[in-house]
Amino acid sequence: MNVIPQLILNSIIAGSIYSLIAISFSLIYNVTKFFNLAHGVLAIIGGYTVFYFAQILNWNIYIAITFGIVFAGFIGLILDKIIYLPLRRRKASNMILLVASLGIMTALQALLSILFTNEFRTLSRNINEQKIFQLLNGSLTQTQVIIIFVAILITIFIVLLLFKTQFGKAIRAISDDDEVAKIVGINTDKIISYVFFLGSAIAGIAGILMGFDIGIEPTMGLNLLLKGIVAVIIGGIGNVYGSVLGAFVLGFAENFSMWKIAGEWKDAVAFILLIIFLLFKPRGIMNK
Amino acid sequence: MIILEIKNLIKKFEGIYAVNNLSLQFRKGQIIGIIGPNGSGKTTLINLLTGILEIDSGEVIINEGITISKIQPYQVSFFGLTRTFQNVRLFEQMSVLDNILVVLTERNIFASLFERHSEYHYKIAKDILQKVNLWEKRNQLALNLSYGQRKLLEIARALAMKAEIYFFDEPFAGLFAAMREVVFEIIQELKQNGKTIVLVEHDIGLIRNLCDYVFVMDEGKLLAEGKPEEVLEKREVIEAYLGE
């Protein structure tokens, strides 16, 4: 049996999930210039919100998904308002912001464990009822097809937002120089808060999709985030196209390496790739 | 009319006075030069007046009415103030045109999401970029411009702000003669339109030719003030600034 078609499809699915995390992480990083380590756990919060409303309260799944996305965004917004924004106003260094985000990540992760236990949860009620699609001699589940479409839609949405709207221009201006952005009259604190909402909501979408595809557990946010960060770095920090490209390069590298070596090496492959890029192309693929 | 007044302004860095109990009055419609040796507090003063640095103590009074003791940088434009920087600061990853359009951007979140720049905005941007000979470069990224062009783009961005007071920090430094002429004309035109221009400049010739009034700073304090031809003859100014 030829495994290459299935490897290609698996790589595209992984790349799609990573691209959602990479784009959303990158959006927030570009305007704040710090590594928000709590970003991954927001993805998982999105997933658990859907789990709570759909499977514990038995709400309509679409309403639960909407709640999950908005709730993840809302938590991101609140974290910015009550923790990151006061720190930024006190001119806290990026290291302090990073350490604060590490604390938030640990606390939120612990909270999820307390509320939902560390058991693996899946959002699909009947996995066996999922439609299977055949493509290029490989197969995809219905959820995986949705993952790919959502990643494409979100990427198009972000590109249009950044490059075709006045709001996007303000975000790009803050990314370039937040002090000058203020001088020209942009209320950077407000815009950054909106970006936190947007970025966290997209992370929430990624977490929900993962919940439907492979399931979620409280501690998987960090690993997901690290993959997103690797994608951003190898694609080129600050470049939205680079984040997507980096995500797919990572997805392909991980899945194709599994063809020849044991699955336990999957995470190691991501970080070996990161080290190679840091050594030989530290600005990433897209940045000259 | 006094458009900007500062009273007893103080800024310290690690206990050392960068601006020391400074009180100045800026008159509307004048070109005002701020000169002084390196480290005399000129740029710190502009940074304080445009919110880049926080004021330790003192007051800033705008239009003989609004008193502010703390300026948030994003509010500076609301008070009719704008500036350029000694070391040019642009939105590097944006095109030349976008560097101007972003200044004309809608500040309301929902409007900024759905409204696109109109012909009106493009016309303003075109007029300003033509003035600094950068219209042909409008689609280039700012980071790809030459030093002189970058300096002109920064001045163009300040013009797009339609401010009342323009702080130009060494706007002529490093420019070719033709570019200096462009900046010279822009400053003259702003004055003709009743705007107030504050120039931080080292070129004494330019100060003599352009300025109506001069403040001389030394060690964060006001050393002298008055018309250029008078101030530049004062012994203490010559000693402190020209080192003679």
| Structural fold of domain B1-80+164-178+196-244 | Rossmann fold (3.40.50)
C-alpha to C-alpha distance for A194 and A191, rounded to whole angstroms: 5
Tell whether A179 is within 8 A of chain B (Cβ): yes
In terms of residue numbers, what domain contains A71?
4-118+128-280
Which residues have C-beta within 8 Å of that of residue A250, sequence separation ≥ 6? Answer: A14, A15, A18, A227, A230, A231, A234, A270, A273
| Residues facing residue B32 across a β-bridge | B198, B213
B85–chain A nearest CA distance, Å: 9
Tell whether A182 is within 8 A of chain B (Cβ): yes
Could you read off the pLDDT of A2-32 as tens digits, one per residue?
788 999 999 999 999 999 999 999 999 999 9
Average pLDDT score over residue span B33-44: 91
Give the residue from A124, A125, A121, A140 showing the smallest Cα distance to A217.
Answer: A121
Could you read off the pLDDT of A135-172 as tens digits, one per residue?
878 899 999 999 999 999 999 999 999 999 989 999 99
Of B82-91, B147-156, B183-192, B231-240, the least confident: B231-240
Could you read off the pLDDT of B98-115 as tens digits, one per residue?
999 999 876 677 777 777
| ipTM rounded to 2 decimals | 0.88
Residue type, B173: A
Identify the closest residue of chain A to B93 by CA–CA distance: A176
The number of angstroms, rounded, from the C-alpha of A210 to the middle of its chain's C-alpha atoms is 11
Degrees to nearest 5, angle at CA A238 with A237 and A242: 70
Whole-number pLDDT of residue B235 = 85
Query: Chain A neighbours among B 90-129 (CB < 8 Å)?
Result: 90-94, 98, 101-103, 105-107, 109, 111-117
> Is A288 part of a structural domain of the chain?
no
Check pLDDT > 90 for residue A130. Answer: no
CATH number at residue A146: 1.10.3470
Whole-number pLDDT of residue A288 = 66
> Is A287 part of a structural domain of the chain?
no
Which residues have C-beta within 8 Å of that of residue B85, sequence separation ≥ 6? Answer: A180, B154, B169
Q: Which two tokens stand for residue B217?
A: 């700073």
Locate the domains of chain B by residue range: 1-80+164-178+196-244, 89-162
Tell me if A188 and B103 make a contact (CB, 8 A cut-off).
no
Whole-number pLDDT of residue A287 = 77
Residue among B107, B108, B120, B159 with most chain A CBs within 10 A, to mutate: B107
Question: How many CB contacts within 8 angstroms connect chain A with chain B?
Answer: 90
Give the residue from A269, A282, A201, A273 showing the smallest Cα distance to A237.
Answer: A282
Strands B66-68 and B57-62: antiparallel
Identify the closest residue of chain A to B72 by CA–CA distance: A182
> Is A285 part of a structural domain of the chain?
no
> Is A49 part of a structural domain of the chain?
yes
Could you read off the pLDDT of A162-207 as tens digits, one per residue?
999 989 999 999 999 999 999 998 999 999 999 999 999 999 999 9
